[in-house]
Amino acid sequence: MFHPHRENHLVERIGWLRAAVLGANDGIISTASLVVGVAAAATAPSEIIVAGVAGMIAGAMSMAAGEYVSVSSQADTERADLARERRELAADPRGEEEELAQIYVGRGLAPALAREVAVQLMAHDALEAHARDELGITATAAARPVQAALASAATFTTGAIVPILAAIASPASMVVPVVFAVSIALLALLGALGARAGGASLLKPTLRVALWGALAMAVTAGIGALIGKAV
């Protein structure tokens, strides 16, 4: 006897995982780069911390706003597409049925079977069938602006607090190397965790995140040092 079971597919994590990884990466890289750049300019420890905290707050708000606007635009497009599809279904159901059948033929079904599948799916929920198979809109991949904004802001703040705490705990003369080392280690860990959660191999994502983070901090530290000497 067949026993139905729940399968947890990794694709179900794409929405929140993308926002979470992006937010945390940005939080670490941008805040660590800011702290390292300010510290390289030989600024007082208190000013380094103030700069880091200000960068964390501004970055979290920017991430939330940007993610909300971006995903809202996606949601608006999805709603417009669904509204148009609803009108087409009302105006020409037979034509929409044939369109759906041809989609299934293109995916490998025999024409007769494709039409039967199209008929049954449209009888069950015509809009859902066309949204999924014609437009590529599913519940899993649907745009959720508020969720994406909150996830980005929260993970940005979580990532940003680490280089700030590292700077607070470091002797004034060691802020740059300590923040650099701690941030790279955390970026590598985050890259590995994100890859594991997404079911990808660990090496490439880990190296990619760590190398880009190191480059960002190195460039910012160099610019900070030059500016510090100039002023």
pLDDT digits (tens, 9 = 90+) for 119-145: 888 888 888 888 887 777 766 556 678
Residues 153 and 67: their CA atoms lie apart, in Å, by: 9
DSSP classification of residue 170: S
Does 14 score more than 70 pLDDT?
no
With contact defined as beta carbons under 8 Å apart, do 206 and 23 qualify?
Answer: no
* Phi/psi of residue 199, nearest 5 degrees: 80, 15
The predicted structure's pLDDT at residue 162: 92
Binned at pLDDT 50, 70 and 90, residue 2 comes out as: very low
